[in-house]
């Protein structure tokens, strides 16, 4: 009996600190956020219950639509930019020679930089007067292409997708390399003896065998892209005129610039819903492809 | 009998292909080197520009500085008041790191060593933390921190950082602790060491690899965080490094030498950590990518 009581004591003492901090600072805020979404509230003063009013407004809000469209551009750029590039790199960098390890480290390096630093550097790269992108274009004789990359609403979102792709290729590449190295060498040897050419090997052996990893990375790409905030905040602040607004930055601007706490909370909840739908959808699509 | 010609054919075919393979390998390595250089270029440009004077930055954006202006760094340090922000980042990061490691290791110990009612529920709760987008908690956390008067204190960052890192810390550590044999626990208990003695003297030292991965990852995340600092800290005296950098860069947009020197100083600690602990950073980030 005393032994049992002692074990119970250990369990309580061990679990309680983590559980308290986690519940108080992660779980409670999520629940509150869902609840605030039903109110009209300026952060101070009375809260007015308006039911689904905020959500109805979201559906009609043109800026929300722009943010969603921009976010889908980021999602597409991530899925169709990061995944193929990381996959190609992993195929040629999977042998772990010194040279390959160095290139791997270089590709991964942007991951450890603060997103503020990344945003400021790329802001200077794209700068209309002093940016090195324009200097480079001039230097190679394409001076007519020079422009203000981040203030042209037609291209700014695509220009912003480039640092995002550059930033996050590393971890996907490492995941693919690990998966490729896990393929039993007997299978590759057997197919080589059967005369499989490299392309055939890639599409019939390697890709199918790491398909589960690819699925995981697509999910990570989607959920990661929907969280993009720091870079946009530092580089454009969502402007000009909301043209580069993303869901997270729109949520921030609504809440902390114009103090619409209720509306901002409703956007937060929408982000969770949209991200769940996109992830479930992508999983369904990719399951069908394997059959 | 039948196999002999096949055996013969193979090496022959291989020998004929060999020079071609070698050439394409060399070409591939050249392409990879170019790719690596392009990837690294923004950073190279940052460091080189930090040594230039303002006119030189404008006129010769590429290439090495004509004169290496080391004083840029001292000027940036003073003008951007980086001493203060370095101190703040250091305090917040270390405090949150200690809390994450201690609370995380304790919880992982209990969850990996004991079977009890509510264990599955606790695991599911922590798993939920891996799936939640951080930004969706900014608004309610802001309101809550304001109510409990933590807003604009170190605590406004330390506790949320710890809370959001705990899930990952617990799962990485549980995976490691589960692999430590049960017999060690029984031996320790027979020797008269209590459960906590066993935890501190056996489990913690044995879990050092997992804990160091968690620690390095947490360090990078806390040190680089921007969103929480932006929303929860408004006093200039409490600004962490990324926050004060973003303010500085906006205010000193056209003083390129100062901005680039300040950015260089800010990234040096993370690059050093990366160079020293590369393997662990990569492994940890891949595990952490699940959280994103």
pLDDT given for residue B288 in this prediction:
65
Q: Do B226 and A233 touch (CB under 8 A)?
A: yes
Q: Determine the Cα–Cα distance for residues A218 and A275; give it in Å rounded to an integer.
A: 12
Q: Which residues contact B268 (CB under 8 A, 6 or more apart)?
A: none
Token pair 């968690």 is found at B214
What are the tokens at B130?
Answer: 């891996």
pLDDT given for residue B290 in this prediction:
52
Residues of A in contact with B167 (CB under 8 A): 22
Average pLDDT over residues A107-125: 90
pLDDT given for residue B8 in this prediction:
34
pLDDT given for residue B12 in this prediction:
40
Q: Determine the Cα–Cα distance for residues B140 and B149; give it in Å rounded to an integer.
A: 14
pLDDT given for residue B223 in this prediction:
92
φ/ψ (deg, to 5) at B73: -70, -45
Q: Determine the Cα–Cα distance for residues B90 and A264; give it in Å rounded to an integer.
A: 32
Q: Does A241 touch chain B (CB under 8 A)?
A: no
Interface test with B, best of A2, A3, A13, A25 (most B CBs within 10 A): A25
Q: Does A243 touch chain B (CB under 8 A)?
A: no
φ/ψ (deg, to 5) at A40: -95, 115
In tens, the pLDDT along A132-151 reads 888 888 888 777 777 888 88
Q: Does A250 touch chain B (CB under 8 A)?
A: no
Residues of A in contact with B107 (CB under 8 A): 14-15, 17-19
Least confident range of A66-80, A217-231, B207-221? A217-231
Q: Do B159 and A25 touch (CB under 8 A)?
A: yes
Interface of A with B in 37-76 (CB under 8 A): 43
The overall average pLDDT reported for chain A is 85
- How many CB atoms are closer than 10 A to CB A88? 13
In degrees to the nearest 10, what's the CA dihedral of B30, B31, B36, B42? 110
Average pLDDT over residues A268-286: 81
In tens, the pLDDT along B170-180 reads 988 988 888 88
The CA-to-CA distance between both ends of chain B, in Å, stands at 58
- Residue B273 near residue B281 (C-beta atoms within 8 A): yes
Of B148, B154, B285, which is closest to residue A107 (Cα–Cα)? B285
Domain ranges in chain A are: 61-290
pLDDT given for residue A201 in this prediction:
79
pLDDT given for residue B163 in this prediction:
93
For B166, which of A6, A21, A223 is closest by C-beta distance? A21
- Residue B165 near residue B96 (C-beta atoms within 8 A): yes
Q: Do A27 and B167 touch (CB under 8 A)?
A: no
pLDDT given for residue B14 in this prediction:
44
At residue B156, the 3 state secondary structure works out as: helix
At residue B149, the 3 state secondary structure works out as: coil
In tens, the pLDDT along B111-120 reads 988 888 889 9
Q: How many CA atoms lie within 13 A of A54 on its CB side?
A: 26
pLDDT given for residue A170 in this prediction:
87
Q: How far is B20 from chain A (nearest CA, A)?
A: 14
Select the highest-mean-pLDDT range: A32-36, A161-165, A181-185, A266-270: A161-165
Residues of B in contact with A218 (CB under 8 A): none
CA A178 from centroid of its chain's CA atoms: 21
CATH classification (class only), B79-289: mainly alpha
Average pLDDT over residues A89-105: 88
Q: How far is A47 from chain B (nearest CA, A)?
A: 13
Residues of B in contact with A30 (CB under 8 A): 132, 136-137, 140
Q: Do B139 and A261 touch (CB under 8 A)?
A: yes
Q: Do A265 and B139 touch (CB under 8 A)?
A: yes
Alpha helix stretches (DSSP H) within chain B? 3-50, 54-59, 71-79, 82-113, 119-131, 138-147, 155-177, 182-190, 195-198, 204-206, 208-224, 227-232, 241-251, 256-276, 278-289
Q: How far is A288 from chain B (nearest CA, A)?
A: 23
Q: How far is B242 from chain A (nearest CA, A)?
A: 6
What is the ipTM for the molecules in this complex? 0.83
CATH number for region A61-290: 1.10.3720.10
Q: How far is A266 from chain B (nearest CA, A)?
A: 9
Q: Do B110 and A10 touch (CB under 8 A)?
A: yes
Residues of A in contact with B32 (CB under 8 A): 92-93, 99-100, 103
For B107, which of A18, A172, A261 is closest by C-beta distance? A18
Higher-confidence position of A5 and A87: A87
- How many CB atoms are closer than 10 A to CB A65? 12
Q: Which residues contact B18 (CB under 8 A, 6 or more apart)?
A: none
**Does the pLDDT value for residue A101 go beyond 80?**
yes
pLDDT given for residue B21 in this prediction:
66
Q: Do A102 and B36 touch (CB under 8 A)?
A: yes
Q: Which residue of B has its CA nearest to A192?
A: B10
CATH 1.10.3720.10 range(s) for chain B read 79-289
Task: List, for chain B, all residue ranges whose pLDDT scores fall below the cut of 70.
Answer: 1-21, 288-292
């Amino acid at each position: 009996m005393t032994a049992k009581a002692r074990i119970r004591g250990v369990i309580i003492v061990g679990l309680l600190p983590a559980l308290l901090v986690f519940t108080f600072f992660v779980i409670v805020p999520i629940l509150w956020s869902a609840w605030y979404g039903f109110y009209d509230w300026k952060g101070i003063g009375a809260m007015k219950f308006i039911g689904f009013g905020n959500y109805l407004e979201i559906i009609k809000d043109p800026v929300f639509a722009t943010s969603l469209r921009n976010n889908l551009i980021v999602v597409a750029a991530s899925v169709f930019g990061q995944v193929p590039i990381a996959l190609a790199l992993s195929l040629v960098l999977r042998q772990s020679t010194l040279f390959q390890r160095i290139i791997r480290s270089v590709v991964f390096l942007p991951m450890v930089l603060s997103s503020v630093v990344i945003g400021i550097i790329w802001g200077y790269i794209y700068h209309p007067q002093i940016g090195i992108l324009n200097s480079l274009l001039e230097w190679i004789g394409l001076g007519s292409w020079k422009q203000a990359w981040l203030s042209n609403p037609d291209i700014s979102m695509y220009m912003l997708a480039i640092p995002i792709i550059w930033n996050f290729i590393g971890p996907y590449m490492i995941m693919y390399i690990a998966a490729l190295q896990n393929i039993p060498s007997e299978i590759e040897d057997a197919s080589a003896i059967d005369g499989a050419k490299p392309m055939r090997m890639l599409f019939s052996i390697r890709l199918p065998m790491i398909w589960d990893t690819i699925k995981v990375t697509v999910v990570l790409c989607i959920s990661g892209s929907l969280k993009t905030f720091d870079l946009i905040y530092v580089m454009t602040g969502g402007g000009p005129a909301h043209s580069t607004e993303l869901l997270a930055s729109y949520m921030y601007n609504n809440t902390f610039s114009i103090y619409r706490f209720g509306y901002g909370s409703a956007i937060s909840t929408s982000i969770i819903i949209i991200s769940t739908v996109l992830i479930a959808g992508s999983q369904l699509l990719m399951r069908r492809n394997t059959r | 009998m039948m196999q002999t010609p096949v055996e013969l054919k193979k090496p022959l075919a291989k020998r004929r292909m060999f020079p071609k393979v070698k050439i394409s390998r060399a070409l591939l390595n050249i392409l990879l080197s170019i790719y690596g250089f392009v990837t690294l270029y923004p950073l190279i440009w940052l460091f080189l520009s930090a040594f230039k004077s303002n006119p030189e930055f404008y006129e010769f954006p590429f290439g090495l500085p004509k004169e290496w202006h080391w004083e840029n760094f001292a000027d940036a340090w003073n003008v951007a008041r980086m001493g203060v922000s370095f101190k703040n980042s250091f305090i917040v990061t270390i405090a949150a790191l200690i809390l994450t490691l201690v609370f995380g290791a304790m919880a992982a110990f209990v969850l990996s060593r004991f079977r009890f009612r509510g264990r599955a529920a606790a695991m599911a709760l922590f798993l939920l933390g891996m799936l939640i987008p951080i930004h969706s908690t900014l608004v309610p956390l802001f309101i809550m921190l304001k109510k409990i008067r933590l807003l604009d204190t170190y605590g406004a960052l330390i506790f949320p950082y710890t809370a959001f890192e705990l899930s990952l810390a617990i799962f990485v550590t549980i995976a490691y602790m589960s692999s430590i044999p049960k017999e060690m626990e029984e031996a320790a208990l027979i020797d008269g060491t209590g459960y906590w003695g066993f935890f501190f003297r056996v489990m913690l030292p044995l879990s050092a690899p997992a804990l160091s991965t968690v620690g390095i990852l947490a360090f990078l995340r806390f040190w680089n965080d921007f969103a929480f600092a932006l929303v929860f800290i408004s006093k200039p005296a409490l600004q962490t490094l990324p926050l004060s950098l973003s303010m500085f860069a906006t205010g000193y947009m056209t003083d390129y030498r100062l901005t680039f020197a300040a950015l260089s100083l800010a990234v040096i600690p993370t690059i050093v950590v990366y160079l020293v602990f590369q393997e662990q950073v990569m492994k940890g980030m891949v595990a952490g990518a699940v959280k994103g």
